[in-house]
Amino acid sequence: MVKGVTRQHFGMLAPPSLTRRHALFLDFDGTLVDIAAQPQAVQVRPDVVASLRALHEALGGAVAIVTGRTAADIDRFLAPLHLPLACEHGARYRLGDRSGGVAALRLQPVLDALRPLLQRHPELRAEPKNAGIALHYRQAPQLEALCRQALEGALRCVPGAELLQGKCVLEVKPTAVSKGGAILRFMDEPLFTGRVPLFIGDDVTDESGFVVVQSRGGLGIKVGDGATQALARLESPPALRAWLAGAAAALAGPRLPRAAAGEGAR
Ligand SMILES: [Mg+2]
């Protein structure tokens, strides 16, 4: 049992009390923000930015966003914060003044396959990224099979790529990357190493992250319904926002020496 954690309904744990020894990894869509009709229409509440800023300070900088979005998107939504980032499902990362990632895919067959599809169905939306591409069908969920068929066909001509299913989105990404792999990379960095990792996410694309943090003595926290390998759950993005605000308030104030602060939670 992770210290500071209690059982809740259906055998899932409630989130633990955050300590200064934790590292916090957070998905964005469906986690920090409610999912919107279009990806660019999400609303970031000011209290979320305030909580993240306070927690970044309280945890000595060990707060990272782990998302399928691009870095430009996250920086714009969370401005003026400039947090450590694993974006595009781990294909890109940023930590301090360092950044990098895997090589971009050669996506021409995918673009060729999508062109007629997008012309016939303007309610579909393609989102080019640096390392891959996402096809959103939230406005036309009946087209999911058609979208999948087109992308799977195109991917036969794109070595090193795979299809990732999210919530009303299909993403073409490099095979070798995952959110779990991105979190492992961070945990090997001095800023994060030795800390107890928490990863909070809402989608099947977050499952690899849950497994990784739990293998490192931490806890995966699933936001919302659905089967998961995470051991803890929060019911919704508003519930997460309340938890973040509470954690930020509890950790506010000057740092105490470790012994005085009662640190040592796992
Ligand atoms: Mg999400």
Instruction: Tell me if 263 is assigned to some domain.
Output: no
Domain residues for the domain of 185 are: 14-101+177-253
Q: Render pLDDT for 2-61 as a digit per residue (tens, 0 to 9).
A: 444 444 556 789 999 999 999 999 999 999 999 998 888 999 999 999 999 999 999 999
Distance from residue 43's CA to the centre of ligand 1 (Å): 14
Instruction: Tell me if 260 is assigned to some domain.
Output: no
Please give the Cα distance from 214 to 229 (Å, whole number): 9
Q: Mark which of 174, 202, 228 sits at the end of a domain.
A: 174
Instruction: Give one word for 22, left, alpha or beta, with left for phi > 0 and alpha for psi -120 to 50.
Output: beta
Distance from residue 265's CA to the centre of ligand 1 (Å): 27
Q: What is the pTM of this model?
A: 0.87
Do 168 and 232 have their domain in common? no
Q: Render pLDDT for 95-149 as a digit per residue (tens, 0 to 9).
A: 999 999 998 889 999 999 999 999 999 999 999 998 999 999 999 999 999 999 9
Out of 27, 29, 73, 202, the active site residue is 27
Do 66 and 168 have their domain in common? no
Q: Are strands 196-201 and 169-174 parallel, antiparallel or unpaired?
A: unpaired
Instruction: Tell me if 258 is assigned to some domain.
Output: no
